[in-house]
Amino acid sequence: MTKSRVLLVGTGGIGTVSAYHLEKGGLAEVTAVMRSNYEAAMKNGIDIDSVQFGQIKAWKPTAITKSVPDVSKEDTQPFDYILVTTKSIPDAPPTVADIIAPAVTPGKTANVLSQNGINIEKPLITRDLPDDDDCQKIGAFFSPQVPTEAAEAAAKQYVQIYNPDGKLDVIYAPEIDKIRWRKIAYNASMNPVATILRMDVPRIKMSKHIVDDLIVPIVLEIRAVAEAKGVTLQPDLIHAVTHQDPNDTAFKPSMCQDYEKGNLMEIENIVSEPLREAEKLNIPTPTLKTVYGITKGLQLKVKEEKGLWGPKFEPGNPYE
């Protein structure tokens, strides 16, 4: 049986475990893009500490490469799937579409975006590209360039390759919009508020007023936007968001962790895209808009530290 060829872009924790699952199932061959740690991985393999598989030493995928292959120029067979597990930061180059473009074979390659946020697929569609325990809900993004049936078939086949024996909590989810907006209700509230305050989730909840004044209003705004788009979220959404994390650990959401490490944050697809959807639908989102303005300012500080922005007045700035 011919194995599906998968290119992995993003070999952090999620990407590495995904690659291991795909190869362990026996239906896929993974080529992992590894830049800074290429030499170490080639020499010593990859150590995985998994809650499902325990300690795995010196594991290697089928192939490791320093850069995304250019299938049009190199002696490389086309990829069936490109799995992207990098953080989604469209306000800082290069974009996901730019990164994976050389490896895409139109009409053959399906892109799997294992990333946070909404509208993460739009840059790929406009570029005319085809479109704890491991727990994933896989659905199809729809593009005018790809028949609906083909998109759904590719998503279902990927689930079969990833989870051939059905033992993992990785399933095909036809109502992926509902799942994504439910996740946004948490990410667009807890993530930026924790980042702005540099506060862990239990302390946010212990304060009570932070939840009442910031978290709950954002969750309600997200619900309103989702419903305007025809997506009905669960009745106990506020309870679900505020009780998602345990109270016995000083857990900080990933956006807060990124900011404290001096890394760029995923604010555009998590905070800004819901805001843009709201503006298109004339849904008022005052709390979300305020939070976005502050986190965008924090992102600017990170960009300046990384040399991606210079403190100068751009043409047309009325505040000069």
**Which CATH number do you get for residue 249?**
1.10.1040.10
pLDDT tier at 222, thresholds 50, 70, 90: very high
Pairing of strands 63-65, 54-59: unpaired
Instruction: In whole angstroms, give the CA distance from residue 210 to residue 197.
Output: 10
What pLDDT shows up at residue 116?
A: 77
Q: Is residue 144 part of a domain?
A: yes
Instruction: In whole angstroms, give the CA distance from residue 81 to residue 88.
Output: 18
Burial 56-74 (b: 16+ CB within 10 A, else e): beebebeebbeebbebeee
**CB < 8 Å & 24+ apart, contacts of 198-204:** 198/256, 198/259, 198/260, 199/252, 199/256, 200/250, 200/251, 200/252, 201/245, 201/251, 201/252, 201/253, 202/245, 202/246, 202/247, 202/248, 202/249, 202/250, 202/251, 203/250
pLDDT tier at 1, thresholds 50, 70, 90: low
Domain identity same for 295 and 191: yes
Assign 13 to helix, strand or coil: helix
- Tell which residue, 162, 143, 205, 130, has the closest CA to residue 26: 162
Q: Is residue 315 part of a domain?
A: no
pLDDT tier at 132, thresholds 50, 70, 90: very low
Domain identity same for 228 and 212: yes
Q: How do residues 76-105 score in pLDDT, each as one tens digit?
A: 889 999 998 888 788 877 888 888 888 888
What pLDDT shows up at residue 95?
A: 81
pLDDT tier at 176, thresholds 50, 70, 90: confident
Question: What is the rounded (10 degree) CA torsion for 165, 170, 172, 175?
Answer: 160
What pLDDT shows up at residue 152?
A: 79
Q: Is residue 128 part of a domain?
A: yes
Domain identity same for 132 and 22: yes
Q: How do residues 189-215 score in pLDDT, each as one tens digit?
A: 999 999 999 999 999 999 999 999 999
Q: Is residue 127 part of a domain?
A: yes
Domain count, the chain: 2
Instruction: In whole angstroms, give the CA distance from residue 265 to residue 117.
Output: 12
Q: Is residue 203 part of a domain?
A: yes
Token pair for residue 226? 């989702």
Domain identity same for 169 and 257: no
Instruction: In whole angstroms, give the CA distance from residue 210 to residue 216.
Output: 9
User: Residue 270: which domain range?
Assistant: 177-305
What pLDDT shows up at residue 74?
A: 67
Domain identity same for 55 and 169: yes
Domain identity same for 121 and 267: no
- Tell which residue, 130, 11, 5, 131, has the closest CA to residue 67: 11
Q: How far is CA 72 from CA 48, 76, 101, in A?
A: 33, 8, 10
What pLDDT shows up at residue 6?
A: 92
Among 34-43, 99-108, 140-149, the range scoring the smallest mean pLDDT is: 140-149
Domain identity same for 28 and 151: yes
Q: Give the domain-ending residue among 144, 159, 174.
A: 174
pLDDT tier at 280, thresholds 50, 70, 90: very high
pLDDT > 70: percent of the chain: 92
Domain identity same for 108 and 86: yes
CATH number, position 97 = 3.40.50.720
- Tell which residue, 40, 18, 24, has the closest CA to residue 85: 18
Secondary structure string (H, E, C) spanning 123-185 = HHHHCCCCCCCCEEEECCCCECCECHHHHHHHHHHHHHHHCCCCCCEEEECCCHHHHHHHHHH
Q: Give the domain-ending residue among 149, 174, 199.
A: 174
Instruction: In whole angstroms, give the CA distance from residue 251 to residue 181.
Output: 22
Q: Check pLDDT > 70 for residue 130.
A: no
Q: What is the mean pLDDT of residues 26-52?
A: 86
Q: What is the mean pLDDT of residues 217-225?
A: 98
Domain identity same for 117 and 221: no
Q: Is residue 200 part of a domain?
A: yes
Q: Check pLDDT > 90 for residue 18.
A: no
Domain identity same for 15 and 140: yes
Q: Which tops the pLDDT comparison, 75 or 24?
A: 24
pLDDT tier at 319, thresholds 50, 70, 90: very high
Q: Is residue 279 part of a domain?
A: yes
Q: Give the domain-ending residue among 174, 192, 207.
A: 174
